[in-house]
Every structure is written in C-alpha cells, then in structure tokens.
C-alpha cells in the first residue's frame, strides 16, 4: 500500500543510499561507547526489516511451517516482551540509565517509532520504511559529528529538533495516508487476507504482521470448530445491530457505501461472514490497522484491527510520546492536514456509515506501573492535545456527517479468560441474543417511573460511599416526551439499559466504586466528586502517591481536561450478564460494553448524542427523548470548542454495592427503583431472578 506522491526513481535512489549507509554502521565505532549498542542494534533491525519486506514481496514465507512463522513472529516482537523489557531501549528507565536521562528519553522515542518498520515490511510500505531509515540516520550522524569533532555528545536540543521536525514535516503525508486507509475499501490490506486465505490453516494469522499468541490461535481454532451456521449467526447478531441502529434512529443507511470493521485477530471467520453480510446491505468493508506512526496515535488507545499487545507496560510508558511535538504550530499544521485529507476524500467520507466493532474480553487485567522516566505532558502540550481533539472532531463531523452515521459494538471472550472459555463463549452468545422485547417492556416500566421525577438519588452500600443526586430535564409534555432512552440491542450489544443526559446544574455528590476496569486499566477505590454536573475532585488508591493517583485519573478519565461533565446517567438491567460474570468469576475481565449493563453507570465527558443533538430520537412507545443536551453541549451553537471533550468514560456501580436508586418527585415523593441491590419497582421483578443467591452473599464473586 503506497499513497505518498514520490517518483519511483527518487524513492529507489533514496532507499539504496539509506541502506548502503545502514550497512556500514555495525562496523563503525563513531559514537560514544554507551550509545554503540543502540545504534548498531537499530541499524541491524532496520536492515532486517528491509530484507523481510523483500522476502514477503517475493513470497518466501508462503510455504513456511507454523513453527517457522511463530519463530519469526517472536523474533520481531521479542525485544519489547515483558521478559526482555528491563534491558530494552523502549523502556524509558533502561534508556535513561544507559544513555542519560535526556538523550535516553529521546532515543527511547526513536526506538518506539522505528518499531513501525515491522508493519511497513508486511504491507510493503516503502515510503514509510524510507522515512524511518532517514530519521535514524539523521540522528546517528548528529552523534557521529559531535563525537568526531570533540569526542562529545550532540546537544539534547538538536536531537529533539530532529525528532520534532520529522513529525512536523511528515504530518501531512502521514495524516493523508491514515485518512485514506480509514475510508477507502480498496486500501484494505487485512481484508485481502480475511477473504482469500484458508482460515482453517492457522498460518494465515501470521500474514498480518501483528503479534500472535496462544490467545489468537486458540480463538481461531475454536471458531473453526463451530459450524458455518453458528459462525454466520454470531456475525448476524453483530451486523444486524448495525443495520437496526440506522433504522431505529431514522438514519438513511441506503446513502452509505462503506462500514469500518474493527476487531482483534483470531475472529477472522466471523469477520468474513460480516463482510459478506454488509455487502448484502450495499456496504463495502474498510478494515484498517491501529495507528503505527506517533503522529497518528492517541496515547495507548488502539483504534482499528490489531493482534496481541506484546507488552501493555511498553504501550503505557509511551502513551505521552506526543509531548515531544504537541505545540501550537504542530497542532495547527495537523488540523490543516486533516481538513485537506478529508476534502480529498470527501465522497468516501460522506458515504461512510461508521464503525462496527468486535471487542474482546478475558485477558489478564493490566495494572500499570508508574515509570518516572517516561515522557510527560507539559501544560502547553495538554492544552494543545485538547484543542486538537475538539477541532478534529468538528472536522470529522463535517465530512462524516454525525446526523447520518451510526455504529455498533459487540464483545466476545478470548481463551485467556480461563479453562471454561468454551462455556463462557456460549453464555456470551446467549447474552448477546437475549429477547430484546422482554427487556424493552420492563425498561419502559422503569422509564415511566423515572419520568415522574425531577432527580434521581443513588446511594451505595457495603463500603461503597456513593451519595449522588442527578438532576433530570423538565418534561413540557409527558405524554409525548421522555428523558430516558429505552436501549435494547442495536448499537450497543447486549441489551439492557435506560440512559439520559443529566442537567448539570443541581447534579451533585460523590461517585465511588471499590474496583473498576476502564479501557483495560484498573482503578481501586475510585472516587469522583461532582459539583453542578462537573468533576470537582477525584482520587483512587492505585499508587502510594496521591499525586500519581490524581495524574492517573487526569490522563485516562479526564484526558487532560481540567474538568469534564457527567454526560450520561443510566441504569443497567442485564442481570443475566451479571449472573454469568459472578458464576464464572470474570466480572473483573468484562469490557465496559457489558459491565455498563450490570448496574447504574455514569459517563464523564460528552453525552451519548454528541454531534447529533439536533436529531429527534424516539423510543419504541413513540415518545421523543428530549434529554439530548446539557449546559456544555449546547455551547456547540456558539462555541463548539467548549461543547465537546472527545471522551466518554462509563463507570458502573455493581448491584452488590448498590444501596438504592430513588426517583425524587417535585411533590416530595421518593419512588424506589432499586433497594439493596434488587429491583423493587412493580413490573421489574423478573430482573431479580438471575440475582438470586448473589447479592445476599451466596456464591458471590467480587466485581
């Protein structure tokens, strides 16, 4: 895949020159001894990646055995694996100890950026390979020049500038390349593998160039053990959720030409069926890899398809690498590049329907360690990151029109969840296919009661300190209007929640959970104080230092904003999922997609209707959901930069920690919906059946 405009002759000439220079480096001693291993090893790595690119292009590994492919895969990712990370230049601490604090930090960034050469080799991306070579050589020559002139080291400022200008100069090219592969189905490297390889031959997993473990192999093996009908049904639940999402929202699916499929390696058999099912809807599938260049990454969040994460700590240590280049000039340049690339692809953008995501759960939860030598965001960089997020969202919304796009997301377990993987997978299939009509009816009963109130009061129990009042919008015509959406199984699978966008003024109190996993990060004793709907204070007990605890929340929940609003208040009703989680002891491994259906949850950041607030939305009973805005999102009409935050993080209180949810009415009445973790509202009793024996302490597993 090559989209960068460069003459073939020039590309070949520059590659030959770079390769010739790389070959000389391992024989040289032109940098201080402390740096020789780094430059020698990186030069050899880049030469190996160029050779691999040529081998793959020539079909060398087409007939390789599974063992040979596994060995190659392990070699490609071995340096950053946990067992080798202590002596890896990608570890900022090792780099600092070996090469000095400041230069070590920058060379650790360089090491991480050069890791992209693995992907470039598999996708035959010669331009990307070339600019990696040239970046490395420019840094190397800065060291050789300083050493040979005075046997010294280059100025840190000079190395930082080389890295900065590499990111800045190539921003337009890298953003254009990324935008094109996000929209154009003809650029799908992965789709060719998914649709054309023999998926019963697990060697196909190694054609992507992603890291592959037993998790991916066993997932593929398990899906291969299922009948075509079973796999087709799993895919159908997913794709129908996407179609119904458009239908329920009254959005024109017939105007759309493409859908973006995001998934984890191992599920190719399901994805193949999904591609065919989407084709029957008139949609071509775009399947792009998670970002490789630092310019296109968003901290440690992966968007796209990807394999196993070789080392989550490595990803976490480099989550703030953008601190190197995030300044006003860079952000302005990147935003212009984004505008230009969307304009160039405006037809593809306008006919793009949005993502269909297949998420996974069951992997060992990751609890990050603080690395004092990792890059840190300055206040200026944090400000510019927020600016980019806000303005990029506005640009994207103009081309992929928010009022016309949708999405769907579903999740399945992976074998790492434990020896009962097959049983848990089967239970998840059942959960994802629960009778939405039954839930729709029960949830309507809950909504009819919630709509009688001016606010909700939520309190915890059993050590949970939640004491929160959430204010609701005023209904002008209760016969035609409602505050809560009756969410069944369309965009968010499985079924099971009612949700609203609260009024911020008057929403006050404390939200507390003893333990929760958000975006694969664990939080212990997470406590968020809310004042007039905005986060006023926060803490957790993950680290010994209060400063580190606050920084952890600031980076991963507030995303460097000073404060963000409560964008959603919801009540999860999927007690069946809760029962399965407790029965198998997997509550701490569930994705937020399922976890949010297992109790009341509160999302901080944008509302569920961001960019689509002006579109009328109706429940199955015909009532319009009027709670689509809050005091911050309404600012989109005057200053969009203050309306959106580019994040939406759900935090769930499990039933076993839930003391009550009461509806507070204007006349002073309090209507109980949940008491001591059980639904007490008449008409909701059936939801308690899966909870029998759990909340009372029998066979209960911690959530």
- Integer angstrom CA distances of residue 220 from 76, 276, 468: 22, 19, 45
352 and 495 assigned to the same domain: no
132 and 216 assigned to the same domain: no
676 and 542 assigned to the same domain: yes
Which residue, among 321, 445, 339, 314, has the nearest Cα to 385 in the 3D structure? 321
214 and 152 assigned to the same domain: no
User: What would the pLDDT profile of 315-365 be if each residue is shown by its tens digit?
Assistant: 999 999 999 999 999 999 999 999 999 999 999 999 999 999 999 999 887
Res. 449: pLDDT tops 60 = yes
| 442, part of any domain | no
Which of 117, 135, 169 marks a domain boundary?
Answer: 169
| 414, part of any domain | no
Degrees to nearest 5, angle at CA 426 with 260 and 413: 50
Domain range holding 97? 8-169
Q: What is the mean pLDDT of the chain?
A: 93
Res. 306: pLDDT tops 60 = yes
User: What would the pLDDT profile of 526-558 be if each residue is shown by its tens digit?
Assistant: 999 999 999 999 999 999 999 999 999 998 999
Q: What's the pLDDT at 702?
A: 34
62 and 206 assigned to the same domain: no
More confident residue, 698 or 269: 269
491 and 600 assigned to the same domain: yes
Q: Please report which confidence band the pLDDT of residue 519 belongs to, taking 50, 70 and 90 as the band edges.
A: confident
Which of 113, 144, 169 marks a domain boundary?
Answer: 169
Which residue, among 418, 402, 420, has the nearest Cα to 363 in the 3D structure? 418
Q: Please report which confidence band the pLDDT of residue 23 belongs to, taking 50, 70 and 90 as the band edges.
A: very high
Q: d(Cα 539, Cα 558) in Å, to the nearest integer?
A: 12
Q: Residues 370-377: what's their mean pLDDT?
A: 93
User: What would the pLDDT profile of 178-219 be if each residue is shown by its tens digit?
Assistant: 999 999 999 989 999 999 999 999 999 999 999 999 999 999
Bridge partners (DSSP) listed for residue 658:
460
The count of domains in the chain is 3
156 and 209 assigned to the same domain: no
Which residues are CB-neighbours of 182 under 8 A, at least 6 positions away? 260, 286, 288
Res. 427: pLDDT tops 90 = yes
| 43, part of any domain | yes
Degrees to nearest 5, angle at CA 420 with 416 and 426: 100
| 432, part of any domain | no
| 216, part of any domain | yes
Which residues are CB-neighbours of 36 under 8 A, at least 6 positions away? 29
| 438, part of any domain | no
538 and 603 assigned to the same domain: yes
349 and 224 assigned to the same domain: yes
Q: d(Cα 498, Cα 492) in Å, to the nearest integer?
A: 12
Which residues are CB-neighbours of 64 under 8 A, at least 6 positions away? 72, 203
157 and 225 assigned to the same domain: no
Q: What's the pLDDT at 5?
A: 64
Q: What's the pLDDT at 650?
A: 93
User: What would the pLDDT profile of 610-659 be if each residue is shown by its tens digit?
Assistant: 888 888 889 989 999 999 999 999 998 898 878 988 889 999 998 989 99
User: What would the pLDDT profile of 475-498 be if each residue is shown by its tens digit?
Assistant: 999 999 999 999 876 778 999 999
Which residue, among 686, 689, 663, has the nearest Cα to 674 in the 3D structure? 663
Contact between 659 and 676 under an 8 Å Cβ cutoff? The reply is: yes
**How many residues make up the chain in this entry?**
703
| 201, part of any domain | yes
Q: Please report which confidence band the pLDDT of residue 517 belongs to, taking 50, 70 and 90 as the band edges.
A: confident
44 and 193 assigned to the same domain: no
User: What would the pLDDT profile of 159-172 be if each residue is shown by its tens digit?
Assistant: 999 999 999 999 99
Which residues are CB-neighbours of 464 under 8 A, at least 6 positions away? 512, 513, 514, 653, 657, 658, 659
| 479, part of any domain | yes
Q: What's the pLDDT at 4?
A: 60
Res. 590: pLDDT tops 90 = no
Q: d(Cα 657, Cα 660) in Å, to the nearest integer?
A: 9
575 and 599 assigned to the same domain: yes
**Residue 430: its H or E element:** helix 421-432
H helices present in 478-612, as ranges: 546-556, 575-583, 592-595
Which residue, among 234, 262, 271, has the nearest Cα to 357 in the 3D structure? 262
Which residues are CB-neighbours of 128 under 8 A, at least 6 positions away? 116, 119, 120, 177, 292, 293
């Amino acid at each position: 895949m090559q989209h960068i405009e460069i003459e073939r002759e020039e590309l070949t000439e520059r590659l030959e020159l770079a390769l010739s220079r790389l070959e000389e480096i391992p024989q040289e001693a032109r940098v201080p001894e402390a740096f020789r291993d780094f430059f020698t090893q990186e030069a050899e790595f880049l030469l190996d990646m160029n050779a691999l690119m040529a081998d793959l292009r020539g079909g060398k590994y087409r007939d390789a055995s599974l063992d040979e492919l596994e060995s190659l895969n392990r070699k490609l990712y071995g340096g950053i694996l946990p067992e080798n990370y202590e002596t890896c230049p990608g570890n900022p601490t090792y780099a600092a100890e070996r090469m000095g604090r400041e230069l070590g930090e920058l060379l650790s960034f360089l090491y991480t950026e050069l890791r992209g050469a693995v992907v470039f080799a598999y996708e035959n991306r010669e331009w990307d390979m070339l600019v990696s070579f040239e970046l490395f050589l420019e840094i190397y020559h800065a060291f050789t020049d300083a050493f040979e002139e005075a046997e010294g080291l280059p100025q840190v400022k000079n190395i930082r500038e080389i890295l900065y200008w590499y990111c800045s100069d190539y921003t337009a090219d890298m953003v254009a390349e990324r935008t094109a592969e996000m929209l154009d189905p003809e650029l799908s490297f992965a789709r060719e593998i998914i649709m054309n390889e023999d998926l019963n031959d697990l060697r196909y997993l190694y054609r992507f160039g992603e890291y592959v473990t037993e998790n991916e192999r066993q997932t593929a093996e398990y899906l291969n053990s299922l009948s075509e009908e079973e796999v087709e049904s799993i895919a159908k639940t997913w794709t129908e959720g996407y179609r119904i999402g458009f239908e329920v929202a009254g959005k024109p699916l017939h105007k759309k030409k493409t859908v973006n499929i995001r998934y984890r390696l191992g599920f190719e058999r399901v994805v193949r069926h999904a591609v065919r099912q989407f084709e029957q809807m008139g949609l071509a599938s775009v399947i792009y890899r998670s970002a490789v260049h630092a310019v296109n990454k968003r901290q440690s969040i992966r968007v796209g398809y990807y394999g196993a994460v070789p080392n989550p700590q490595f990803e976490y240590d480099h989550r703030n690498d953008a601190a190197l280049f995030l300044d006003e000039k860079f952000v302005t340049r990147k935003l212009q590049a984004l505008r230009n690339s969307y304009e160039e692809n405006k037809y593809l953008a306008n006919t793009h329907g949005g993502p269909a995501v297949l998420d996974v759960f069951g992997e060992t939860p990751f609890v990050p360690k603080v690395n004092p030598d990792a890059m840190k965001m300055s206040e200026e960089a944090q400000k510019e990151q927020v600016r980019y997020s806000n303005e990029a969202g506005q640009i994207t919304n103009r081309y992929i029109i928010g009022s016309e796009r949708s999405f769907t997301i579903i999740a399945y377990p992976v074998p790492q969840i434990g020896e009962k993987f097959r049983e848990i997978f089967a239970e998840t299939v059942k959960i994802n296919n629960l009778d939405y009509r039954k839930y729709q009816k029960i949830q309507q009963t809950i909504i009819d009661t919630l709509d009688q109130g001016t606010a909700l009061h939520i309190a915890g129990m059993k050590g949970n300190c939640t004491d929160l009042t959430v204010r609701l919008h005023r209904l002008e015509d209760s016969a035609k209007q409602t505050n809560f959406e009756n969410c069944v199984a369309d965009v968010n699978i499985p079924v099971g929640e009612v949700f609203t966008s609260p009024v911020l003024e008057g929403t006050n109190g404390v939200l507390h959970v003893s333990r929760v996993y958000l975006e694969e990060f664990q939080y212990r004793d997470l406590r968020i104080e809310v004042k007039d709907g905005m986060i006023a204070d926060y803490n957790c007990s993950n680290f010994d230092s209060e400063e580190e605890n606050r920084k952890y929340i600031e980076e991963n929940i507030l995303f460097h904003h000073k404060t963000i609003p409560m964008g959603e208040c919801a009540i999860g009703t999927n007690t069946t999922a809760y029962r399965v989680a407790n029965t198998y002891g997997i509550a701490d491994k569930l994705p937020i997609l399922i976890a949010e259906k297992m109790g009341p949850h509160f999302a901080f950041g944008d509302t569920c209707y961001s960019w689509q607030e002006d579109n009328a939305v109706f429940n199955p009973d015909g009532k319009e959901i009027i709670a689509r805005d809050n005091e911050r999102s309404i600012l989109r009409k005057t200053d969009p930069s203050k309306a959106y935050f580019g994040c939406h993080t759900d935090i769930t209180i499990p039933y076993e920690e839930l003391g009550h949810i009461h509806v507070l009415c204007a006349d002073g009445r309090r209507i109980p919906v949940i008491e001591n973790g059980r639904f007490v509202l008449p008409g909701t009793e059936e939801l308690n059946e899966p909870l029998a024996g759990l909340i009372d302490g029998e066979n209960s597993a911690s959530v």
